[in-house]
Structures are given as C-alpha cells and as structure tokens.
Structure 1
Amino acid sequence: MSLRHAILGLLDLKPMTGYDLKKTFDDTARHFWAADRSQIYRTLGALHADGLLDEHVIRQRSRPDRHEYRLTEAGSAELDTWLRSPAPTELPREAFLARVYFAGRAEDPQLVRKLVDERRALLRRRLDELRALEAPTTTYPERLRAMTLRNGIVHHEAELSWLDELEEAL
C-alpha cells in the first residue's frame, strides 16, 4: 500500500484538508498506516498535480486559508483500480525484532530485558490508544473499518503475549 492510496481512501470518505488528513490518520488508521505531516502535504500536491484531487480554497479572516481536497472522477477510478488489484506481498521490517535477533552478541541479558520492557510499555500505550478509538459498526464500510481496528488490537495483544514468552526464555 502506498500513502497515495491511503489518502485517496480517506478522501473518499469525505473532503479534508491536509491537517484533517493527519488527524484522521492518527485517530482512525494508525494501527495500519502512519504518515507525518510533510509526507501528507507532499502526496496531496502530487495527487492534485496528477488530476486525482480537486483543491477548494476556503478563505478565512483570522487564519490562513484552508485547502480542502476532494476526489476527482479520476481519483475515484484510481482508488477502485487499486482496490481491485492483487495485494502485493509486503515483507515486514521491524527494528525491535532485529535488535532482539542480534542482542546475543552482547552477552548481556539485561540489554534484552531493557528492550523488552521498553517494547512492552510502548505496546501497552498503543493498545490503550487503539482501544479508546471510536469504531461505529452500523454500515458495512464501518464494520470493515472496525475490523481493521480489531486486527491492530489483536496484533498488539499477541506481541505482548510473545514478550512474556521471550522473558521466560531468558
């Protein structure tokens, strides 16, 4: 998946500004996709230049103008094409697991315990954040989005369980 398609998908839900997109990523999609503000704005510019988005400038008196983006017909078609295309195999990259994998060279069990403690704290924070997200389930699209949230929760819970196993193995 590319940020390009994630943005098209979110803008298919409703028109948004770059600021709104960042907030939406953080509030609804961070369990499967993260993006920083500069990546979002860069991608919005490219999508607009490619004719996949329309930009509507909303003038404001006491604040900078808002630039709200909407899908064009071409943007909607691009999103449909992506949705119907085969999903590529995405190989994971996980810095934490790489550190655990190579930590034996230090011959220092405390190093691994520190890594585990830091990871557990991070996962617990993220799990709390995910559990706090609102996930309406009235419509079919809402149920699908809620199930992606559930996937994020289950993955975090599974990794926390695995961390317990790792500690026992030490």
Structure 2
Amino acid sequence: MSLKHAILGLLDLRPMTGYDLKKTFDNSARHFWAADRSQIYRTLGMLHGDGLVTEKVIAQQSRPDRHEYRLTKAGAAELDSWLRSPVPVELPREAFLARIFFAGRADDRELVRTLVAERRTLAQERLDELQAVEAPKTTYADRLRAMTLRNGIMHLEVELSWLAELDRELVAAL
C-alpha cells in the first residue's frame, strides 16, 4: 500500500485538511499505516498535481486559511483501481526483531532484558490505545474498519504473549 492510496481512501470518507488527515490516521488507521505530517502534505501536493484531489481554500479570521481536500472522479477511479489490483507481497522489516536476532553477539544479558522490557511497555501502551478506540459497526464499511482494528489488537496481544515467552525461556532463565 502506498500513502497515496491511504489518503485517497480517507478522503473518500469525507473532505479533510492535512491536519484532519493526520488526526484520522492516528485515530483510525495507525495500527496498519502510519504517516507523519510532512509525508501527508507532500503526498497531498502530488495528488493535487495529478488531479486526484481538489483543494478548496477556506479563509479564517485570526487563523491561517484551511486547505480542504476532496476526492475527484479521477481520484475515486484510482482508488477503485488500487482496490481491485492484486495484493503485493509485503516483506516485513522489524528493527526490534533484528536486535533480538543479533543480541547474542553482545553477550550482554541485561541488554536483552532491557530490549524486551522496552518492547513490552510499547506494545502494552499501543494495545491500551487500540482497545480504547470505539469503532462503530452499523454499516458494512464500519464493520470492515472495526475488523482492521481487531487485527491490530490481536497482533499486539500475540506480541505480548511472545514477549512473555521470550522472557520466561531466555531472559529470566539467564
């Protein structure tokens, strides 16, 4: 998936500013796709240049103008085309697992304990965040989005279980 398609998909829900898009990513899609502000604004510029979104400037008093983006017919067609295209194989890149894989070379058991404890804290914080999200399930589209949230929750639950196993079998036993 590209950020381009994620933004098109979110704009298909409703017109948004770059700020709105960042908030929406963080509150609804971050468990499978994260984006920072600069990436969002850069991509919006490209999408606008390609005619996939329109930009409406809304003047505001005592605040900077709002730049609201809306999906065009060409943008909707691009989103539809992407949805119907074959799903590519996406190979994972996981810095934490790479560190665990190579941590034996340091022969530093405290390093492994620290890595596991830090990861457990991050995973638990993220799980708590996702579990606090209330996902409506009234429409078919809502239920699909809720199931992606459930996927994120399940991944974190499995990771926490694996971290406990790692701690029991390798870290605590050392």
TM-score (norm 1): 0.99
1:67 match: secondary structure = strand
**Corresponding residue of 1:109:** 109
- CA–CA distance in structure 1, aligned partners of residues 36 and 134 of structure 2: 22
Query: How many Å separate the matches in 2 of 1:149 and 1:139?
Result: 15
Aligned pairs (5 A) from 1:11-160: 11-160=11-160
After superposing on structure 2, the runs of 4+ consecutive aligned residues of structure 1 that deviate more than 4 Å are none
Alignment deviations for residues 59-113 of structure 1 (CA, whole Å, 9 cap, x no partner): 1011000000000000000000000000100000000000000000011111111
Q: Percent sequence identity over matched residues?
A: 77
d(CA) in 1 for partners of 2:33, 2:154: 16
What is the alpha-carbon distance in structure 2 between the residues aligned to residue 73 and residue 84 of structure 1? Answer: 16
Question: Residue 55 of structure 2 aligns to a residue in which SS?
Answer: strand
Describe the SS at the equivalent of 1:61.
coil
Distance, in Å, in 2 between the alignment partners of 1:85 and 1:53 is 21
Paired position in structure 2 for 1:169: 169
Q: Secondary structure at the match of 1:69?
A: strand
When the two structures are aligned, how many residues end up with a matched partner?
170
In the alignment, the residues of structure 2 paired with residue 20 and residue 55 of structure 1 have an alpha-carbon distance, to the nearest angstrom, of: 14
Query: Which residue is equivalent to 2:8?
Result: 8
RMSD over aligned Cα atoms? 0.5
Query: Structure 1 stretches of 5 or more lacking a match?
Result: none
- Secondary structure of 2:16's match? coil
Query: In structure 1, how many angstroms separate the alpha carbons of the residues matched to 2:136 and 2:103?
Result: 42
TM normalised by structure 2 equals 0.97
